[in-house]
Amino acid sequence: MKIRPVILIPFLWLALFFLVPLTIVVRLAFSESAQARPPYRPAFAWAEGWPVWLEKAKSLSLGNFEAMLEETLYIDALLSSAGLAANGTALVLLIAYPLAYAIARAPRDRRVLLLTLVVVPFWTSFLIRIYAWIALLKPEGLINYALKSFGLIDAPLPLFGNHLAIVIGIAYSYLPFMVLPLYATLEKLDWSLEEAARDLGATRLRAFWRVTFPQTLRGLIVGILLVFVPALGEFIIPDLLGGSDTLMIGKVMWSEFFGNRDWPMAAALAMLLLCLLAIPLVILRMLEDRRETA
């Protein structure tokens, strides 16, 4: 088989920007923190070469990983992140599915415009948009102010500095990542199938549920992964919108790295997160393989 050089470009890209940083993180995770600059004692020195590395690998320091399991803070942060990311993903899904459906069924010449509108907020800095949400959600913010002046509430609703604010922030920030794969799937569907279902005695809702929805599962899973994975490690949203007591793994990593200057611990956490995130991807691949052989 002849490999054309063009194909090498993505491989080079991945090697440079994924494999190299990953190697550095792995090396860090097995090192010990120290009063030094940089603040760790490396487990492997670059100069030692393969034979020494292999020898060292047999008696590796797993101290960071042991500490991670002993200290409940890390596990709690992970669980709480997973919960928030899951809620955020669910909210995204609730908004994105009808949105993608409506765009896919809009007249052809209007679809591009509608899709652009979904993506347009991304032309502004992410930070600025999250600050805008602070202005909307805080107790004296726009939403509470409006509700109060319409006489709908007496005391401001607790929209800011809590889990709800984080979930809203995640839903807002990751909406396009769900809308786009769903739209791509829905757009290819043959709408006469829904008509055929209705002709065979299904109401509109049943026709959607039994015919359209099952055909969009692929796009749905891709969308869920694209939202859940980055949301799990999210740092800015909990930092700016969540209260000081919110525990998210991204925030914990940040404080390990910059607060405690415990680089090896931060790297070990990052590796744990990476391994956990690989699980749904592997499951997805297995499902795909089953579908193809069925």
Partner 1 sequence: MGTQGVTGRPPLVSIEHVSQSFGSVRAVEDVSLTICEGEFFALLGPSGSGKTSLMRMIAGFGEPDRGRILLAGEDVTRVPPHKRPVNMMFQNYALFPHLNVFENVAFGLREEGVPKPERSARVDEALRLVQMQSYAARRTQALSGGQKQRVALARAIVKRPKLLLLDEPLAALDRRLREETQEELKHLQKSLGIAFLVVTHDQDEAMMMADRIAVMSAGRVLQIGTPADLYERPVSRAVARFIGDANVIEPEIRAHLDGRALVAVDGTPFEIATGSVRDFAIGVRPEKIRVLEPYVSVPGSVTLDASVEQRLYRGDVTELRVRTAHHVWRAAILNASRRTGFMPEPGERIRIAFAPDDAMVLPE
Q: Are 178 and 226 in contact (CB under 8 A)?
A: yes
Q: Which is nearer to partner 1, 162 or 215 (CB)?
A: 215
Contacting partner 1 (CB under 8 A), which of 6, 214, 245, 290? Answer: 214
Q: Which is nearer to partner 1, 144 or 216 (CB)?
A: 216
Contacting partner 1 (CB under 8 A), which of 70, 76, 140, 195? Answer: 195
Least distance (Å) between residue 228 CB and partner 1:
24
Alpha helices (H) in 122-262, listed in sequence order = 126-137, 142-149, 163-187, 192-199, 204-207, 213-215, 217-232, 236-241, 249-254
In the chain the first and final C-alpha atoms are separated, in Å, by 29
Q: Are 74 and 270 in contact (CB under 8 A)?
A: no
Any idea what DSSP says for residue 121? G
Q: Which is nearer to partner 1, 245 or 292 (CB)?
A: 292
Q: Is 107 in the site for partner 1 (CB under 8 A)?
A: no
Q: Are 130 and 51 in contact (CB under 8 A)?
A: no
Any idea what DSSP says for residue 200? T
Pull the structure tokens for residue 211. 């015919």
Least distance (Å) between residue 97 CB and partner 1:
17
Contacting partner 1 (CB under 8 A), which of 18, 20, 120, 203? Answer: 203
Question: Of 272, 240, 231, 235, which is closest to residue 252 (Cα–Cα)?
Answer: 235
Whether omega for the bond prior to residue 38 falls within 30 degrees of 0, making it cis, is yes
Q: Is 215 in the site for partner 1 (CB under 8 A)?
A: yes
Contacting partner 1 (CB under 8 A), which of 190, 209, 278, 289? Answer: 190
Least distance (Å) between residue 59 CB and partner 1:
53
Q: Is 61 in the site for partner 1 (CB under 8 A)?
A: no
Contacting partner 1 (CB under 8 A), which of 96, 115, 211, 252? Answer: 211
Q: Which is nearer to partner 1, 17 or 191 (CB)?
A: 191
Question: Of 287, 163, 294, which is closest to residue 237 (Cα–Cα)?
Answer: 163
Q: Is 287 in the site for partner 1 (CB under 8 A)?
A: no
Q: Is 24 in the site for partner 1 (CB under 8 A)?
A: no
Q: Is 218 in the site for partner 1 (CB under 8 A)?
A: no
Binding mask 228-267 for partner 1 (x = CB under 8 A): ----------------------------------------
Taking each helix axis as running N to C, give the angle between helix 163-187 and helix 72-105, from 0 to 180 degrees, rounded to the nearest 10: 40
Contacting partner 1 (CB under 8 A), which of 124, 206, 243, 259? Answer: 206
**Cα 283 from Cα 117, distance rounded (Å):** 33
Q: Is 197 in the site for partner 1 (CB under 8 A)?
A: yes
**Cα 94 from Cα 175, distance rounded (Å):** 10
**Residue ranges in contact with partner 1 by CB under 8 A:** 190, 192-193, 195-203, 206, 210-211, 214-215, 294
